[in-house]
């Protein structure tokens, strides 16, 4: 029997007993008070062991996110700064006007999935395993074009149901560049500036889109900086975001092609992830060895990094797969 139903049942029986035996009323009241206290304690214990939409399970760790980005994300000074400021500002705002919407762009292996994970780990006690973090992969969840109307309905119901259950929900959409055009527009109302939609407020939710789209533009800007002899760390969001959002909007393979999410300015930040250089691959390799419980070995990591493919073909500046395959490759070299 649920604790609150049990409380009602026992209190009704105590009251009935007190009505029959007036002399025991004070005892009955004392018993009811004790029982109420017991069930309150039981409830707190229940919340402690079972994930709930409460501060015990959902609490933003600003310092934790900052440290994690610094120690685990390499070569992404622009993305790191934008994410830190955007998430911190949103989580500290007690009355946001809309959900936080981040669109992460860049080639594979540059850290987009890692950043989503780090955000989740520093908001939800259970991290990516939290029942309030929902991840969609386009090729797995929305594979068939002829079922797009069903996907729209299911996606709307899923988001509404989960935000109703917990306003502080997070939704991650991976492989946006493989999503059917027009599908993502179905969630536009939930990302807008509405106080309530059918009695539900979406303003505390977080939406993150991950896409390879725009990678060409980001790489070109990085290459131009390199050719001009400018330091990579000189790049700022302003050097990348305006043209990035435009290229994504006009790219039929972006998943955000001509979407109202961009047209209505509902995406808060287009976050660029720069292509990684040899030095960043080394850092990834050392970190991966530590994560595997191995003693970091510069010689081993250097040998592995040298055998990777780099582009453009003539200059060989950027890693073709970023840090994506490093975990598996290290097994070969160690």
| Residues across the chain | 334
Residue 42 pLDDT greater than 60, yes or no: no
Average pLDDT over residues 212-240: 94
Residue, of 250 and 282, whose pLDDT is higher? 282
Helix (H) or strand (E) holding 125: none
CB atoms within 10 A of CB 223: 16
Is 112 annotated as a binding-site member?
yes
Is 63 annotated as a binding-site member?
no
pLDDT digits (tens, 9 = 90+) for 109-149: 999 999 999 999 999 999 999 999 999 999 999 999 999 99
Is 111 annotated as a binding-site member?
yes
**Alpha-carbon distance 273 to 258, whole Å?**
22
Residue 102 pLDDT greater than 60, yes or no: yes
Q: How far is CA 77 from the centre of its chain?
A: 19
Query: What does pTM read for this prediction?
Result: 0.85
Is 107 annotated as a binding-site member?
yes
Q: Which of these, 170, 172, 156, 173, lies nearest to 57 by C-alpha position? A: 170
Give strand pairing partners of 318. Answer: 277, 311
User: pLDDT at position 333, please?
Assistant: 86
Residue 252 pLDDT greater than 50, yes or no: yes
- pLDDT band at residue 155, thresholds of 50, 70 and 90? very high
Asked if 209 and 183 touch (Cβ cutoff 8 Å), the reply is no
Is 113 annotated as a binding-site member?
yes
pLDDT digits (tens, 9 = 90+) for 172-187: 999 998 998 889 899 9
Asked if 175 and 135 touch (Cβ cutoff 8 Å), the reply is no
- pLDDT band at residue 8, thresholds of 50, 70 and 90? low
Of 35-44, 158-167, 292-301, 310-319, highest mean pLDDT = 158-167
Asked if 107 and 280 touch (Cβ cutoff 8 Å), the reply is no
User: pLDDT at position 34, please?
Assistant: 60
User: pLDDT at position 227, please?
Assistant: 95
Task: Find all residues with CB under 8 Å of 234, minimum gap 6, and list them.
Answer: 225
3-state helix, strand, coil in the chain (%, to 5): 55, 10, 35
Residue, of 260 and 90, whose pLDDT is higher? 90
Residue, of 273 and 25, whose pLDDT is higher? 273
Q: What percent of the chain clears pLDDT 90, i.e. is strictly above it?
A: 70
| Average pLDDT taken over every residue of the chain | 88
- pLDDT band at residue 251, thresholds of 50, 70 and 90? confident
Is 265 annotated as a binding-site member?
no
Average pLDDT over residues 8-29: 53
User: pLDDT at position 35, please?
Assistant: 61
């Amino acid at each position: 029997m649920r604790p609150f139903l049990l409380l009602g049942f026992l209190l009704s029986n105590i009251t009935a007993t007190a009505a029959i035996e007036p002399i025991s009323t004070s005892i009955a009241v004392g018993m009811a008070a004790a029982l109420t206290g017991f069930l309150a304690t039981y409830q707190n214990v229940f919340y402690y062991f079972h994930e709930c939409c409460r501060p015990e399970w959902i609490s933003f760790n600003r310092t934790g996110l900052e440290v994690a980005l610094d120690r685990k994300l390499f070569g992404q000074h622009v993305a790191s700064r934008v994410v830190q400021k955007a998430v911190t500002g949103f989580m500290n705002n007690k009355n946001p006007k809309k959900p936080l919407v981040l669109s992460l762009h860049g080639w594979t292996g540059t850290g987009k999935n890692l950043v989503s994970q780090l955000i989740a780990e520093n908001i939800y006690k259970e991290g990516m395993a939290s029942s309030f973090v929902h991840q969609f992969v386009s090729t797995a969840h929305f594979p068939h074009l002829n079922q797009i109307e069903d996907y729209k309905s299911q996606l709307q119901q899923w988001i509404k149901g989960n935000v109703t259950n917990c306003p502080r929900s997070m939704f991650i959409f991976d492989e946006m560049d493989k999503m059917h055009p027009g599908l993502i527009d179905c969630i536009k109302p939930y990302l807008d500036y509405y106080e309530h939609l059918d009695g539900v407020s979406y303003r505390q939710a977080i939406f993150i889109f991950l896409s390879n789209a725009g990678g060409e533009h980001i790489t070109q800007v990085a290459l131009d900086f390199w050719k001009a002899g400018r330091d990579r760390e000189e790049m700022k969001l302003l050097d990348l975001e305006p043209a990035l959002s435009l290229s994504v909007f006009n790219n039929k393979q972006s998943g955000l092609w001509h979407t109202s999410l961009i047209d209505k300015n509902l995406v808060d930040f287009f976050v660029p992830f720069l292509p990684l250089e040899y030095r960043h691959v080394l850092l990834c390799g050392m970190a991966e060895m530590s994560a595997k419980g191995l003693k970091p070995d510069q010689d081993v990591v250097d040998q592995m990094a040298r055998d990777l493919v780099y582009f453009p073909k003539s200059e060989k500046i950027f890693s073709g797969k970023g840090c994506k395959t490093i975990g598996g490759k290290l097994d070969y070299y160690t």
